[in-house]
Structure 1
């Protein structure tokens, strides 16, 4: 049967008196003797007291009634359970009985130092380095819950190099060689801070509020987390510091100063609060939430650190916890020892009458008075405790039947100490060591290297920084109107996993606050920029606050909240909404489209007309009108015009290597022959009339030889230009992806624009020269003269091709091809119509006029 020292008789008085040695006694302790003793500093009792004034004797310090963190009583029971389990296990420390000695820290530095010194001293006497009995052979100390408590303990224990296993948080800045005997049963806080950022990134929460304890731990939290926020694109809307309420008047003062502020935070558009805190600092948060308007509650996502828990003081049992429904926390991994629940079911206020913790716990947990304490005064009458109350009937914020993370750490700490001791005494034949001669510092060497599986099968071992290698559980907290809650494990965080695989979470198992209509809820500074828009930073505000601007021409954004729009690949183009790229269609003049059909119709019509005229002239080749203007030139002109019309087919269809080589060169050659023929006709007419003058020497030049020479020489010069073009920089097929937004133009690149315009300019030169000659010959007798018709046809040619040059540079795609085909057809049709339509009219419609008598004026007959 384990025993404990009884509660100090002055605990409930209004002042604490010093004992005869000048020490204020520690009100709460529990102790069970053993060959080796495990010390412990719990954090269960909390005093609200008035501030100390130096004008009063410390012995007269006024104390208000103690408040018990009822949930923390499980920490004590976990240590008791682990020690009893080990003492009944013949495979660990056989023939050696473990004992324990526990004090409370009271969340107070003075009392923590005092309790630590008491563990190092003989029982009932606070004299370090002196022992009056062998039953206080301290092997190691377990504690404390908060980082400050752990450091206060370590300040004393490091002097003796006594192993200290902290089951709560420890500031990273204190973890150096000066605390070489401090072991942490939880991973470094930096791991869970990174896990918080990973959770925020996972759910795309970039606009959050920070609520931290107003202490060193809170400052370390901010210094670590804020740079991680910036690296991950997360902003914080505010930082609200929670001050620890160490006395009654301070609590009232805090409430009066902040009660108006916190409801405003709850009503803001920040939907996610990242909370760092440990008891009792979370009491202030719960206090403020009581005054948030419950008629129109606005749910929040509470993302809390591992050392936060749903816990209530006795006076908070009626406080609503529905605000925390759906909260997510990175909790310390825990498991359930087989017999722990059965052990808790046997606990009652009479099972260990010397337990000085259980009285306050039982009375405040069940809101009653034990018979032994009926003499104490109470502001409100309370029923008498029967002692048959069941722990499982308490709501979760007051006590849990399942082992919590901190209790599981204590459980593992006891086993770690026991296994290390077991290893020591297994090799005691070499060390010549007896249990009563063991020095606590000798345990450090073995603790650092200890590695085992506990009774549940979880691995327990420390890393090089003396931190337990363990995962965090991602826990979803589900609350109920009856003040109870359920922890639901929805994932895990393994700090030692490969980068990017640390966090595992099952989104489908998460439950959110009923206020949210969208799950997972959003928490952003402003609405997301939808695809088709990009972000633009708002001046003077955090980078998470931005405006949305439409993507510029030619760019898209296919995701939400893109920093900048992106260009589509060259073979794609933005759709109208500018949120995706569509494949560009191929663009070239085809036979199937309406424009192609129209062009082909014109080509065939003009070609058939030319064939008809050629056949008509061949049938009437002996008539006067056919003979009148050099029959051979007429045939050459008609054939070249026919070929000009047919050359237009090279511009229709998908461009290829051969068609690109033939397009411009074939047309320019054939059309040059046509214009040369017209020029030869014009010169022949002029020379013919000059030869009629008496004594003219021009007569010897009149004939077919001159006409053929003109045609041949002009054509050879154009052929030379085309040859140079094809040799130096020939045309080739080309895909233009830039000119049109939604199409890729399949075209023929001319290779050398200079050669193209040289060829075109040469045709223009021939046309202008022909027009000039014909213009001066226009007044010759009409019957013999084609000059008027040739002049008009050259005007048609110039009026068609002169606008072609600016048009060629101003339009793109199939339109360029269509315009060039139009110019070819129009200029060729102009020659055909202007020169041959009058002759065809006479041949077909007025054959009686097709005679020498009618063609030659009387004065020349």
Structure 2
């Protein structure tokens, strides 16, 4: 087999190997003929396991009851020696192994290795080391792929070794932590001598220099914590080179120093960059982590954030909702301003509606001009001229008030929209109701001895108009006082858009205004229906009946349509209802009269209006 350098690591006197190997190596001619190919990872692990299994040992910790004369050790790293009750005069020149897992965790974090395995000796040291390593690795955010023990010979058979090898080779982790002892450090060396308080006192204060740095002891008899990070280069079993590439130091004040020179590291030739060892690849911004069921926290799936939420950092567990006036971009990694929309005058829909409103306003103004020009003719005088003027003026304002619903909503426009609409429409419907009541009174008064003679005139209709309008004014005033409409934004109707609109404040007050207008319209319809059989030439009850039928049909259809419409189309729906109902009143009541006045002037006579004309 060709000699291929393989990178391994050690962090101190104990063999803490981070084993790496990828790809396949060349085999001998016999192996090629047999078609046997093994990955570099398998070859390295088998070689390490064979060497490692025969060089494990466990510390014999005295019980503390028998005399203990060993004073200084340069190999004992067990943390139990720091117990000053059991070992009051014990000192060591090697660091306490309790700090070693912290250095390993920092090394793993430095390279971004979050998915690793552990191999330790099957004794007290190995068990404690495995527990501490697992705790520090988990604390640093990494996860364990496996945690295996290696027994000492002769209890560790080749079959057990193959089973361990299978666990390692079948794992997806590319980094394995091997915790054990090197061959030339298989025994502890202690200094013997009589236990002396004087010696113990001087050992506490000893301070000297070594090739590795200054040496001193703390109250537990431990030296400064220092672990060297060594790059092992395996060219063959007999050709192994070592290269120090960094260290991990904890000084007397507890400050941690981690130093590593990446440029001095020699990796396996199969790596073109620093190797990776993760259970799941990092979730990029725009995705969130979803833990896999019954797997460690390092194993997860990356799920895209929903609309309106983002993650701006990698490996975020939860998506962050965007502010109300913002929306997530396509990559879901940043919030961008929403597209602002409202029913503007220059929009196609706004242009159509404003053009229709302007047309009917001009048309109504023309009808009013005709009525004023021919105000002394019998037809206009017979149909309550003053109420006709009031109705036409209110219809003109109805067409104009629809324009208040367009444009960018403001506090003033939101207040004026519904209140002006409600009051002006109430005046229009009340005028129609007054015309109908006046028509009925005038017909009843023609009978001899009728009590309705004293009610004939404009006083009844004027009082009725004023009373009905005051009720609506009261409702609108209470609405503005208790829960006035206000500018609001709609972020749910259209994805990624923010629709500016007026919030009605109170739905109850809004439907009270509409309901009151509907009540007046229903009264007008009933009154006109009762008066429909009056002489055809005299009354306009049939025209009022038909106009109220159109009016009520529009607003009855408006309510469910309005409740099921969102965004700017809700505003367009209300404008359409205002225009169509107003146009219905104008067309049904006044267009026939204009037809007679302009095109059939022979019918605009007192005899014809009173029904005394001769029918041909």
Q: TM-score range by the shorter chain?
A: 0.7 to 0.9
Is 1:666–2:420 an aligned residue pair?
Answer: yes
| Alignment-derived partner of residue 538 in structure 1 | 293
Which protein, 1 or 2, shows the higher relative CO under an 8 Å CA cutoff with sep ≥ 6?
A: 2
| Alignment-derived partner of residue 277 in structure 1 | 180
| Alignment-derived partner of residue 205 in structure 2 | 449
Q: Deviations over 1:233-260 (max 9, x none)?
A: 4332222223344xxxx49x73344236
1:730 counterpart (479, 484, 491): 484
Q: Report SS of the residue matched to 1:751.
A: coil
Q: Tell me how far 1:205 sits from its aligned partner.
A: 3.4
Measured in 1, the distance between the counterparts of 2:241 and 2:595 equals 107
Is 1:243–2:151 an aligned residue pair?
Answer: yes
Q: Tell me how far 1:693 sits from its aligned partner.
A: 3.1
RMSD (Å) for aligned C-alpha atoms = 4.1
Q: Report SS of the residue matched to 2:215.
A: strand
| Alignment-derived partner of residue 48 in structure 2 | none
1:460 counterpart (198, 215, 219): 215
| Alignment-derived partner of residue 94 in structure 2 | 186
563-572 or 652-661, larger mean C-alpha shift: 563-572
Measured in 2, the distance between the counterparts of 1:772 and 1:478 equals 104
Distance change >3 Å, CA 669–CA 277, structure 1 → 2: same
Where do 5+ consecutive residues of structure 2 fail to align?
A: 1-12, 15-51
Measured in 2, the distance between the counterparts of 1:204 and 1:546 equals 16
Distance change >3 Å, CA 189–CA 803, structure 1 → 2: farther
Distance change >3 Å, CA 219–CA 789, structure 1 → 2: same
Q: Tell me how far 1:183 sits from its aligned partner.
A: 2.2
Give the 5 Å matches for 1:454-853: 458-477=213-232, 483=239, 485=241, 487=243, 489=245, 492-494=248-250, 503=258, 512-515=267-270, 519-524=274-279, 526=280, 531-539=286-294, 541-546=295-300, 555-575=309-329, 580-735=334-489, 742-847=496-601, 849-852=603-606
Measured in 2, the distance between the counterparts of 1:731 and 1:257 equals 80
Measured in 2, the distance between the counterparts of 1:803 and 1:494 equals 80
Where do 5+ consecutive residues of structure 1 fail to align?
A: 1-41, 44-106, 108-144, 282-306, 309-405, 415-436
Give the 5 Å matches for 1:370-381: none
Conserved in 1, the CA contact under 8 Å of 2:491 and 2:499? yes
Q: Tell me how far 1:527 sits from its aligned partner.
A: 5.0
| Alignment-derived partner of residue 113 in structure 2 | 205
Q: Report SS of the residue matched to 1:259.
A: helix
Q: Report SS of the residue matched to 2:278.
A: coil
Q: Report SS of the residue matched to 2:95.
A: coil
Give the 5 Å matches for 1:161-310: 163-166=71-74, 168-177=75-84, 178-245=86-153, 250=154, 254-259=157-162, 261-262=164-165, 265-280=168-183
Measured in 2, the distance between the counterparts of 1:194 and 1:852 equals 112
With normalisation by structure 1, the TM-score equals 0.57
Q: Report SS of the residue matched to 2:218.
A: coil
Q: Deviations over 1:528-571 (max 9, x none)?
A: 556434414414x4444445556567655555554444444444
Measured in 2, the distance between the counterparts of 1:498 and 1:790 equals 96
184-193 or 443-452, larger mean C-alpha shift: 443-452
Q: Tell me how far 1:768 sits from its aligned partner.
A: 0.8
Conserved in 1, the CA contact under 8 Å of 2:145 and 2:171? no
Q: Report SS of the residue matched to 2:388.
A: helix
Conserved in 2, the CA contact under 8 Å of 1:210 and 1:236? yes
Distance change >3 Å, CA 609–CA 708, structure 1 → 2: same
Distance change >3 Å, CA 257–CA 611, structure 1 → 2: same
Q: Report SS of the residue matched to 2:157.
A: helix
Q: Report SS of the residue matched to 1:777.
A: helix
Distance change >3 Å, CA 439–CA 262, structure 1 → 2: closer
Conserved in 1, the CA contact under 8 Å of 2:607 and 2:613? no
Q: Report SS of the residue matched to 1:225.
A: helix
Measured in 2, the distance between the counterparts of 1:452 and 1:665 equals 94
Q: Tell me how far 1:763 sits from its aligned partner.
A: 0.7
Larger Rg computed on CA atoms: 1
Q: Tell me how far 1:832 sits from its aligned partner.
A: 1.9
Distance change >3 Å, CA 767–CA 462, structure 1 → 2: same
Conserved in 2, the CA contact under 8 Å of 1:147 and 1:171? no
Q: Report SS of the residue matched to 1:181.
A: coil
Q: Deviations over 1:304-338 (max 9, x none)?
A: xxx99xxxxxxxxxxxxxxxxxxxxxxxxxxxxxx
Q: Report SS of the residue matched to 1:208.
A: strand
With normalisation by structure 2, the TM-score equals 0.78
Distance change >3 Å, CA 485–CA 691, structure 1 → 2: farther
